[in-house]
Amino acid sequence: MRKWFWLALCCVGSLSRAEPVINLYTVDYPPFVIQDDPGHAQRGIAIELMSQALARSGVRAQYVDLPWKRAQMQVQTEENGCLLPLTRSPKREDLYRWVGVIDESSQSLFIPSNSKVKIHDLADLKGLRVVALLGSSMAEWLRRHLVSFSELPTTEDAYRELSSGVAAAWAVHAPVARYLVKKQGSGALPIREALKLQDTSIYLACSHKLPDDVALKLGAALKQLREDGSSARIAARYLE
């Protein structure tokens, strides 16, 4: 009887030590997260990187569908939630645990290649229609630097306005601009970088309550993917 008692205690102990299933919240942000059709699996640079990081780390996860703003609030309070991808910024710094880098690039102002607009600094934007993604870190940056701009629901909307001449400049991550131009094919409007605004890092950002061992495993796996060239190879398939 005593033998079974101790076995039961061991089982309970092992269950209590079992690693949690991570809730992953994403936003449609090509080429990092691409949701082509509702009901179809997501793809993109961040999705592929996360899949490999989970396989290497042994951490289990599930994707949870939730509006992005609500997801950001949810992860701040729940124990095992993570956002993918999220740009690190001063306003967000203390809200999350920045577990691992997904991308390091820049946010810049893009204009049509044939545009006669000259942008040397932010003062040159006065009177021009500048567009950015609604609720993005780019919008946060522009607001903080007192730049007048319009927020649009999707990056496709912003590129469309730039292409049609409605907008004079588009503030966005450089990889996002490159991907959308590539996606349009031969009919795409060529664009060029008019002004680099800031270097950025896009992360897997998690709750501060996420267990240390889980965060360390995921962070180490994402670092390994960058160091062995896997991250660059994945990105190249979407951008080149």
**What confidence tens digit (pLDDT) does each residue in 26-68 have?**
988 899 999 876 666 799 999 999 999 999 999 999 999 898 8
Q: How many CB atoms lie within 10 A of CB 199?
A: 9
Closest CA to 210 of 98, 122, 125: 98
Fold agreement (22-104+201-239, 105-200): yes
- pLDDT score of 186: 73
**What confidence tens digit (pLDDT) does each residue in 152-194 have?**
988 889 999 999 999 999 999 999 999 988 888 877 889 999 9
Q: Which CATH number fits domain 22-104+201-239: 2.60.40.10, 3.30.420.40, 3.40.190.10, 3.90.650.10?
A: 3.40.190.10
Ordered by start, the domain boundaries in the chain are: 22-104+201-239, 105-200
CATH fold, domain 105-200, is D-Maltodextrin-Binding Protein; domain 2 (3.40.190)
**How many angstroms separate the CA atoms of 200 and 137, rounded?**
10
